[in-house]
Structure formats: structure tokens, C-alpha cells
Amino acid sequence: MRRPLISGNWKMNLNHYEAITIVQKLVYTIPNETYETVDVSVHPPFTDIRSVQTVIEADSLDIFLGAQHCHWDDHGAYTGEISPVFLAKLDVDYVVCGHSERRELFGETDEMVAAKVEAILRHEMLPIMCVGETLDEREAGVTEDKVLAQVRAGLADRSAEQVASLVIAYEPIWAIGTGRTATADDAQAVCAAIRSVVSTDWGSDAGAAVRIQYGGSVKSGNTTELMAMPDIDGALVGGASLDADEFARIVQFAAG
């Protein structure tokens, strides 16, 4: 049985004071028993991670700590980059990689994403690897070609055990931050195709175990419908995760 994972991607929002406030608000808004059926991660900007980690550890919170990306090398002359070693030292659990904003705005390639996936796993954290098509690609009917190629490229050289442990986030680019959501049936079809490729390339155990999130304008109003889909195991939530009450509602709807 796959545990759903709801992840809040705060992008370049919330300073460390605001981040602490939102985590504390989540704690008293989400009932403790919710964490029995759903995993929750928050992905603050790098400058907030230490503050959020302190709150999570001091109060033994059931929230997983996340990051939004990292470099693939441990150390070196990469001005402005963050090493996976630093994130592991802060007890980060999940690291988003290959987000479409990183791919489109900062030139991340499939090869870079694959190197990040390897580095994140090497430091005993779990990747949330994002894949997704543009509107032009969807309209041209090549959604699955694009997405499945990204899955194969990003996970190339990873073992079946590694693939079974990680998270793939299917995020149609045209649905991110636009208020447009893929219909639950369309999202399910792509997530099922992803699971099928994982089963074919890494074995049926990996296919059955890998968690696949949907991302793209997820709100409390569409969570139940998306989560009812057999191949959708959670959500990567951007805008709606900046509002603690709304994010808490999404978590609770995901818990069922």
C-alpha cells in the first residue's frame, strides 16, 4: 500500500520568520491522526530550511523537511549552488528536482536531473522528480512521449530498489500556477503510463511501489477527485501551500 505524500512547494516565497509561522499553524490545524494515513512535506527556500528544521525537531513534528533543488556534486566551484551534503546535514528528507521552472528558466536538462537524482539518493534523501509537458506538446498529442522520456532519462542507471523508494511528480506545465488543472481522468492516464514504464523498465515491484504525485493548481476543491485515482499517490502543491488553512484542508482531504 502506497502512502500518499502531500508536498508544499513554497518556491521563492516566505522568509524564515514567515516559514516558521506557517509550520506552527499547520501543526495546530492538522489533527495528529491525519499523519497516520498521509505523509506531508514542506519545501521552503534554502534560507528558511535551518529554521524550519529546528521547529520540526524541537517539537518532534510529523512533517517531513524538504528542499526545492540541489546540485549534484558534493563540493566545488559552483557559486550560488547548494550541495546535497548540506541538505542531508540538515536532516532534509525529500528534495524536489527537475521542477519545470528549473528546467525552463534555469536550463536544467534531463542529464542534470539524472545526476541530481543520483546525488540525492547517495545522501540518503528521497528525490521528488518532476516531469511534465507544455501546452503545445499536449495539443500536439505527444504528452506521454515527453513525460515517459523524462522518466526514463531522469532515472537512468538507478536500481529497482532506488526507483521503488522515490517519488515522481507529474506536473503538466500549463497547469502550474495558472489555475488550470488537468482533469482527474487525464492526470490518472499519464500517471498510469508512468507506472507502467517503471514496471517495464525496473520491474513490477518498483512499479507497484513508486509514488506518483500530481501537481498543477491543486486546491482543496480538487484534491478528493485527484486522490481517488488509482495511480495518483499525492500532490505537489505550489500556490495553495502558502496558505496554512488551505494546505491543511488539502492534507486532510488526501487522508480521506
Catalytic residues: 99, 171
- Binding-site member from 4, 66, 234, 239 for ligand PEP (CB under 6 A): 239
Closest approach, Cβ 215 to ligand PEP, in A, equals 4
Q: Are 90 and 130 in contact (CB under 8 A)?
A: no
- Asked if 194 and 131 count as a contact pair (C-beta separation under 8 A), the reply is yes
- The least distance separating ligand PEP from the CB of residue 52, rounded to whole angstroms, comes to 17
Minimum Å gap between C-beta 245 and ligand PEP is: 16
CB of 96 to ligand PEP, least distance (A): 8
CA distance 152 to 25: 39
Residues facing 221 on adjacent strands: none
Closest CA to 55 of 98, 81, 95, 23: 23
Residue pair 92/67 in contact (Cβ under 8 Å)? The answer is: yes
Q: Note whether 150 binds ligand PEP by CB under 6 A.
A: no
Give Cα separations from 43 to 50, 137, 156 (angstroms).
Answer: 12, 28, 25
- Interface positions, 7-36, toward ligand PEP (CB under 6 A): 9, 11
Element (H, E) at 66: strand 64-67
| Residue showing the smallest CB distance to ligand PEP in the complex | 238
DSSP per residue over 114-149, as a string? HHHHHHHHHTT-EEEEEE---HHHHHTT-HHHHHHH
Q: Which is nearer to ligand PEP, 43 or 206 (CB)?
A: 43
Q: Give the count of residues interacting with ligand PEP (CB under 6 A).
A: 14
Q: Which is nearer to ligand PEP, 92 or 176 (CB)?
A: 176
217 interacts with ligand PEP by CB under 6 A: yes
Q: Choose between 207 and 239: whose C-beta lies nearer to ligand PEP.
A: 239
- Number of residues in the chain: 256
Member of 22, 65, 164, 237 binding ligand PEP (CB under 6 A): 237
The nearer residue to ligand PEP, 11 or 103, going by C-beta atoms, is 11
Q: How many CB atoms lie within 10 A of CB 15?
A: 12
Residue type at 35 in one-letter notation = Y
**Closest distance to ligand PEP from the beta carbon of 11 (Å):** 6
Which residues contact ligand PEP by CB under 6 A? 9, 11, 171, 176-177, 215-218, 236-240
